[in-house]
């Protein structure tokens, strides 16, 4: 890590005595303010506290007892800010309940207050939640969604790999059948899982409300894929423009790929009963693996936001809401950037790490003209 930054941390009000909840709730409060979500009733913070449970009270100086895969530094929370072409900006919290609780406990705690409809989750629970306790890299993740002017929403992520890679395809196939979209399966395989073991179902997500547009979302991770693979995957969804994907990956990821560090991810959104064709496609680039530091990541993210006419100063404010360190002093504050397109709206989402436990060190930037300098 950059020496200057270490010195700064040493002299500032140190994070040392903060609890996980104290750290994350400050970040969430500030993010809500950036997008204009009115948090005066404190519901956003109560949800966060509930999600973290007793782990939230643990000091950040004690090593994580239950390392989570939600974020690289094992914090069980990741934030995101979604820019939508409607002009709306939404804050979301991806999180895992860690510790001794069973993964569904949080859901049972908040289901009443938020009027959650768990029918769809119940219909697939025996497939994706075969055990009471947490298994493997993840069992059940939550998303808390804070849209200005609306009540918070909650969504769940299930793990198609929960019973091993050999079972993933059949779990997704059966899950879709139970949700009345069996026809959706084959076209996804044809478009997004064409490369054998390198393309894998990685998340199966459900909205937990009774909105007629409540969605089922299926994610595919593409190991060592290039832009053309994502363009083909997008081709399943009417109205997607492959050129926009190519540009997005070129600007953010520095080229056409192949993206050989962390995988590109595709997702398809379905409305129940809508038939085989998903209504939306998103591509996610884990940008932190393709930039030396967050200053470069934020410049690239600003460039794609500008391309779509989004307000880049909001990104700066969001970054300032989660971190005070110099952007060049680490990498991974911006974890992913995604582009979504289709009937359910289009936009860009920037995923922000809380860096509660750790800032990952910046890598060296490439040096221009290094050879000629030696002469």
Say which residue the tokens 């520095």 belong to. 254
Residue of minimal Cβ distance to ligand TRP: 284
Measured between alpha carbons, how far is residue 11 from residues 17, 92, 95, 105, 364 in Å? 14, 32, 31, 40, 26
Q: How far is the CB of 250 from ligand TRP (least distance, A)?
A: 19
- Judged by beta carbon, residue 134 or residue 336, the one nearer ligand TRP is 336
Q: Which residue has the tokens 């970040």?
A: 27
Check if the beta carbon of residue 27 is closer than 8 Å to that of residue 354: yes
Binding site for ligand TRP (CB under 6 A): 69-71, 78, 94, 265, 284, 286, 336, 351
- Closest CA relative to residue 153, chosen from 196, 203, 215: 215
Q: How far is the CB of 63 from ligand TRP (least distance, A)?
A: 19
**CB closer to ligand TRP, 55 vs 282:** 282
Measured from the CB atom, the residue of 9 and 224 that comes closer to ligand TRP is 224
**Cα-Cα-Cα-Cα dihedral sign, residues 309, 311, 315, 316:** positive
Q: Which is nearer to ligand TRP, 94 or 218 (CB)?
A: 94
Closer by beta carbon to ligand TRP, 321 or else 335: 335
C-beta closer to ligand TRP: residue 69 or 100: 69
Least CB distance to ligand TRP at residue 352 (A) = 10
* Minimum distance, C-beta of residue 199 to ligand TRP, in the bound complex (Å): 14
Shortest Å distance, C-beta 138 to ligand TRP: 8
Assess contact for 195 and 236: CB atoms under 8 A: no
In angstroms, what is the minimal distance from the CB of 51 to ligand TRP?
Answer: 15
Residue number with CB closer to ligand TRP (74 or 328):
74
- Name the residue nearer to ligand TRP (CB basis): 222 or 336: 336
Q: How far is the CB of 182 from ligand TRP (least distance, A)?
A: 26
- State the nearest-atom distance from the C-beta of 14 to ligand TRP, in Å: 26
CB nearer to ligand TRP: pick between 206 and 274: 206
In the complex, the smallest distance separating the C-beta of residue 74 from ligand TRP, rounded to whole angstroms, is 10
């Amino acid at each position: 890590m950059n020496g200057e930054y270490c010195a700064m941390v040493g002299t500032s009000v140190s994070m040392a005595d903060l609890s996980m909840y104290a750290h994350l709730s400050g970040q969430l409060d500030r993010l809500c303010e950036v997008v204009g979500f009115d948090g005066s009733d404190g519901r956003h913070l109560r949800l966060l506290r509930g999600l973290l449970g007793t782990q939230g009270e643990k000091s950040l100086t004690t090593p994580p007892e239950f390392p989570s895969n939600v974020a690289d530094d094992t914090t069980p929370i990741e934030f995101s800010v979604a820019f939508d072409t409607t002009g709306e900006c939404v804050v979301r919290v991806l999180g895992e309940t860690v510790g001794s609780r069973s993964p569904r406990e949080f859901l049972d705690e908040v289901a009443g207050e938020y009027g959650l409809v768990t029918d769809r989750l119940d219909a697939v629970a025996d497939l994706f939640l075969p055990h009471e306790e947490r298994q493997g890299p993840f069992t059940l993740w939550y998303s808390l969604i804070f849209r200005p002017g609306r009540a918070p929403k909650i969504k769940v992520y299930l793990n198609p790999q929960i019973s091993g890679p050999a079972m993933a395809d059949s779990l997704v196939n059966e899950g879709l059948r139970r949700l009345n979209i069996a026809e959706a399966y084959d076209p996804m395989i044809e478009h997004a899982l064409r490369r054998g073991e390198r393309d894998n179902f990685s998340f199966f997500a459900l909205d937990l409300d009774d909105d007629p547009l409540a969605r089922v979302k299926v994610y595919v991770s593409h190991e060592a894929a290039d832009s053309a693979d994502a363009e083909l995957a997008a081709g399943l969804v009417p109205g997607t423009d492959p050129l926009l994907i190519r540009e997005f990956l070129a600007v953010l990821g520095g080229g056409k790929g192949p993206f050989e560090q962390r995988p590109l991810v595709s997702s398809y959104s379905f409305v129940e009963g809508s038939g085989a064709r998903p209504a939306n496609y998103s591509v996610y680039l884990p940008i932190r693996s393709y930039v030396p530091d967050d200053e470069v990541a934020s410049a690239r993210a600003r460039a794609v936001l500008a391309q779509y006419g989004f307000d880049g100063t909001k990104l700066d404010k969001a970054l300032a809401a989660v971190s005070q360190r110099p952007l060049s002093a680490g990498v991974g504050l911006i974890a992913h950037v995604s582009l979504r397109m289709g009937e359910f709206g289009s936009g860009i989402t920037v995923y922000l790490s809380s860096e509660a436990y750790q800032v990952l060190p910046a890598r060296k930037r490439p040096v221009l003209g290094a050879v000629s300098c030696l002469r």
